Structure 1
């Protein structure tokens, strides 16, 4: 397939900032077709960004939302590549209507980093590593029995969502002697669940029975505030909530209240409803919560793989018009 690029003598790939420190990988991959790679700097002036979108053939984007207004400024038939798996920040309907292909990078190794991070958060929460560190740094000692610490071995694990990351996390947690594994994922067959020696249940049963509940579901209308006042009331008083998925799955206000009232053991969160996390978030003042800054996906290796995957997707859009990981795929007859 031969592509044309409007008035541009060469294709232009724009990377929306904030992105990464260096784009050598993207430039190397796209040099195969002589494409120009531009860093789209815009600060806080979104109008600046919108103006620049008119000049590019493919956009690479990390976290900046691309709504219908932004997509309307892009060339019909151009492309969007999301650095990562989730595309909930891209208006897919608007992109499809404009003939803009949206691709993601689902296989950059996030199952390794995120599952490691989820396991680390689980251990840190259950063993009270963060709070104990603070107390020891303050000169305290012999504090082990002041607050309960439970044994992971023999615990029931609940997984909401059972994709690659959840399965990698499960493999790590089984090394600690997890006894029973409950899974809620309507898109996974009973045969597949049996192959992994897990039990398929509805979400409420996980909230009622699991001591450790780890969220691995995508952001969607159906999953919005999956953890809310009602489901928190179902949870055991020794339950640990782990979220390395999407902040929108959790009602922050309801969780903060449950933690403040010690209705559950604690929570460890790598993602928030609003990011960056607001200074006024009620979670900041609570001793039974562990927070990280949406860094679960990160390692030097995963970033390099992610940048290469995004560049290759852009290359496919510019050459064949058919990216391997085409999210809003339509019929070739459209």
Structure 2
């Protein structure tokens, strides 16, 4: 067990945006004499750097963390990410400085994300948003102006096949989607056979599916997974869903594909830039349903993620190894 050397009070900085209350963190960490501070830096880099200068540990959701931030916090011994994704954290820089980084991959949000993915799909495929708008304006019995396709019998494509994607698979199966193609380099043939899915290349997947859903981490260089070239190879009439990372999709190419009718519609919870610009051309498209990176959210998931993150912070501050240590040395 490593000793955690410090002088004066221990300071934990929670980088906003965070949560409505930090009672769960306080309950776990206050017995250690920890002072918890919420840093509302409002997007100003210098405020962020000043705010973490005397931190022993940082807790955050989606703020990008680079070597410069680590250097601005010489007392820093740990960082806990509320959630799973690590693409915004420079793990190598943290390792070089002996700063333990932990995430919270098992807070149960596979339930919420899977539910949200299906909700976005149904809203797009059944034209809920446009029908709602039209009926409110007095239209009636105009469904055939927006052709609707049956869900049962469709082919589902999943990019990534971890816990969330498997939950999505289960929900779509209830609607009669029984052929599922998966692109996931970590899934072997035996695992695919056991799950009842077919392993394919990304190129073969985009050409064959009628529903395409992303459930994998984004690339470290933020290059899109679904490029303009791959979008051009999509099967006409496909519905695209993204509740993973905004970097997966070339938004300009998607916009053009929806306008041309090649893509029937899309449900997006994440964007290349968050929050997205208000003049994002995607927002002018009638067959796009969006939400604000909230697929993971429920009151229950928030409570669980805060409790688990606090437990990881406790382990780091008491010189122990966090359960989900992502940059070991």
8 Å contact kept, 1:76–1:100: no
Match of 2:111 in 1: 112
**1:99-134 deviation per Cα after TM superposition (whole angstroms, max 9, x unaligned):** 111110001111000000001111111111111111
Provide, for residues 37-82 of structure 1, a one-character-per-residue CA deviation record: whole Å limited to 9, x for no partner. 1112333432222122121111001122111111111236610011
* Alignment partner, residue 3 of structure 2: 3
Q: Which runs of 5+ in 1 are unaligned?
A: none
- CA RMSD across the alignment: 1.4
8 Å Cα contact 2:57-2:313 kept in structure 1: yes
Q: Secondary structure at the match of 1:328?
A: coil
Query: Is 1:26 aligned to 2:28, yes or no?
Result: no
Aligned partner of 2:16 in structure 1 is 17
Q: Separation in 2 of the partners of 1:75 and 1:299?
A: 36
The answer to whether the 8 A contact 2:4-2:318 is kept is no
Task: Give distance in 2, aligned partners of 1:42 and 1:240.
Answer: 38
For residues 1-334 of structure 1, what are the structure 2 equivalents within 5 Å?
Answer: 1=1, 3-8=3-8, 10-75=9-74, 78-221=77-220, 224-330=223-329
SS at match of 2:144: coil
Is the alpha carbon distance of 1:102 and 1:264 closer, same or farther for their aligned partners in structure 2, counting shifts above 3 Å?
same
User: Conserved in 2, the CA contact under 8 Å of 1:77 and 1:98?
Assistant: no
Shift >3 Å, 4+ stretches: 1-5
TM-score (norm: length of structure 1): 0.95
CA drift of 1:315 comes to 0.4
Are the structure 2 counterparts of residues 221 and 88 from structure 1 closer, same or farther at C-alpha, using a change threshold of 3 Å?
A: closer
Partners in 2 of 1:77 and 1:285 — Cα distance? 45
1:6-29 deviation line (CA, Å, top 9, x unaligned)? 322x32211111211111111001
Residues 168-212 of structure 1, C-alpha deviation per residue, up to 9 Å, x if partnerless? Answer: 000011000002110110111111111111111111111001000
- Provide the rounded CA distance (Å) in 2 between the counterparts of 1:192 and 1:222: 29
Partner Cα distance (2:55, 2:299) in 1: 28
SS at structure 2 position matched to 1:117: helix
Q: How far 1:2 sits from its partner (Å)? A: 6.2
Change (3 A) 1:250 1:25: same
Which consecutive unaligned segments of at least 5 residues does structure 2 have?
Answer: none
- Are the aligned partners of 1:77 and 1:99 in contact in 2 as well (CA < 8 Å)? no
1:223 to partner: Cα distance? 7.3
Deviations 1:115-162 (A, max 9, x none): 000011111111111111111111111011111101110110010100
Displacement of 1:320: 3.2
CA distance in 1, matches of 2:285, 2:91: 37
User: 2:62 and 2:136 mapped to 1: Cα distance?
Assistant: 36
Cα distance in 1 for partners of 2:132, 2:51 equals 48
